[in-house]
Every structure is written in C-alpha cells, then in structure tokens.
Amino acid sequence: MSVPIRKLSIFMLAIALFLQSSCANEENDLWLLISSYEDFGITPNDLATFMIAHGYNAKPIKSYVTVKFSGGKEVYLTPNGASPRLADLWMTAPEKPIGPVRVSLDEAIKKNMTYAMSSNPEFVKSISRSVLFPLMPLGMCYEGSKQMGIIYTGLGHNITYMFNPNNTGHEWVLVEDGSTNTWLAVDSYYGVMNTGDYYTAQYSFQKFDLLDLVNPQWRIG
C-alpha cells in the first residue's frame, strides 16, 4: 500500500526536526561538560580520553579533538590552557583556511555568582509596577527575560540576566538598586521574587545575546 505524498512529507519533516533537536541537546550537554572542569595542562590526547570516558565518539587530531554526535555532525575541541573550562568549542575544524567559528564564554559571563537582595520597599514597588505580570506564558522564560531586559534598561536600570541550565533551563533578570548596591530578581511569569534561589545562578551576564554562548541549544533552535 502506497503512502500519500503529503503524509510522507510530514513524516520526513518530523524525522528532520527530531534529529536537529537531538543534535542540539548533545551539543548543549557537551558544552556544559567542558564548562564544568578545568585542567591547565590537558593535551589533545588527554582531552579525547576524557571525552571517550564520558561516552563521546572522540578522536585527537593534531592540536584538536573531533567529537562526532549520534546524528553524524562533528564539532571540534581545542585545549585552552589556563582559561576557564577544559576546551574551546568550534563549529568548524581549526585547520580550515576560512577560519574557525568558535563558541566560547565571554569575560562578561560570570559563573556561580550570588547577588545581594534589595530590601528597599520603594524600589520593590517601582520594579513591580513597571511591568504587568505575567509578561509571558509559563515556560517562555527566554523570551520573557529578553522583554524585561528591554523594558528595564529603557527605564534606566542596570540589569543582569541569570541562567540555570538544569533540566530544561530557566532564565530571569536581576534589576540593580543603585542606591544600595543590591538587586531585585524578576521572573517574567511570577514577577518580583524574594526567595534566595533567585539570587544565585550558574551563569550571569549583562547582554541577552550571551545566552547563545552558555546554551548552544538555544542558539541552534
């Protein structure tokens, strides 16, 4: 029995989207793995051995390591010496003449920071009334954080984006209370937050686009 062309096309599209999502997840997991360790003297051979021990299809080639994902896509790692993380992640082989496209953390990205919470009632009131919450539906924290950044910076506030990659990942913003050098956490769905877990994050950064560097899955998707 033949399969109608339209149904076959939908089936093929579903497979393509699944493979793309799987690759994005693998790249994200790889990035988080190399970001969780540091080794000043690691060599390409050591790095490949480490990758293999963590279940990756890795092979040392000259000064870098090739990692092949289950879908066939390859990425490339180069040991980065005294810099944070085990290696830099590249989308093209470092030896290609067109020049590599590197994915690396910017100096503006801070890891495992904790910020002091503002207790200024006037500031809390001002920040709460600046945005009508929920700003975005539940589960759209990336888009919500971006919009909050635009709103609060437009009002003259300094902000910091907070990102925890655990599970599906969560992002929110801190708004600076310049009068006390403290911060106020704001969730795009729940609004102003006064619980301690909102004042610490694995990654914090001042430009929304830097999310691309700590979360490759968001970048690709």
Closest Cα partner for 89 from 113, 58, 55, 111? Answer: 58
CATH 3.30.460 assigned to 110-220: yes
Distance CA 63, CA 80 (A): 11
Quote the pLDDT of residue 127.
Answer: 96
Q: Which tens digit of pLDDT belongs to each residue from 45-90?
A: 999 999 998 999 999 988 899 999 988 889 999 887 666 778 888 8
Quote the pLDDT of residue 165.
Answer: 82
What's the token pair of residue 56? Answer: 């990756």
Question: What is the block-wise mean pLDDT of the chain (221 residues), using blocks of 10 residues?
Answer: 50 46 68 82 89 92 89 87 77 61 56 92 95 92 93 94 81 94 96 96 87 57 27
Calculate the alpha carbon distances from 156 to 88, 117, 122, 126 in Å. 35, 19, 16, 12
Q: Phi and psi (nearest 5°) for 8?
A: -65, -40
Cis previous bond, 94, omega within 30: no
Domain spans of the chain? 5-103, 110-220
Interhelix angle 121-130/141-154, rounded to 10 degrees, is 120
Cβ(173)–Cβ(197) under 8 Å? no
